[in-house]
Amino acid sequence: PKDVLARILRPPFSWGEGNNLDGINLKTADLHRARLRGSGLFSAIFRGADLAGADLCYANLIRADLRGANLTNAKLVGANLAGADLRGAVLQNTDLRGAYLTDALLGARVSSRQN
């Protein structure tokens, strides 16, 4: 079931755009380039999911579980990430302009380069 949903959320499909998907469990799903702009994703589970290149602009990701998710080149402009768990997430080239990060749990890798 989650693989079917993951397929419909990838381009050219945009059925996830602007929809209420609060609490959805997409743990480890392949959501590469998914269009979730403006979607309700309150408490959604994206742990370990591939969201590289995804459009999550203006999405409600309050208390979402994004631990270990790949958000490389993802767009989260204006997204609400209050209380979201981003520990271990990959945020390389992720656009977070205007994103709301109050009480978000960070610890994300912002570069693949090891010091």
pLDDT digits (tens, 9 = 90+) for 16-62: 667 788 898 989 988 889 889 999 999 999 999 999 999 999 999 99
| Omega before 12 within 30 of 0, i.e. cis | yes
* Token pair listed for 17: 């755009």
Q: What pTM was computed for the model?
A: 0.81
Domain spanning 1-105: CATH superfamily: E3 ubiquitin-protein ligase SopA (2.160.20.80)
Are residues 69 and 49 in contact, defined by beta-carbon separation less than 8 angstroms?
Answer: yes
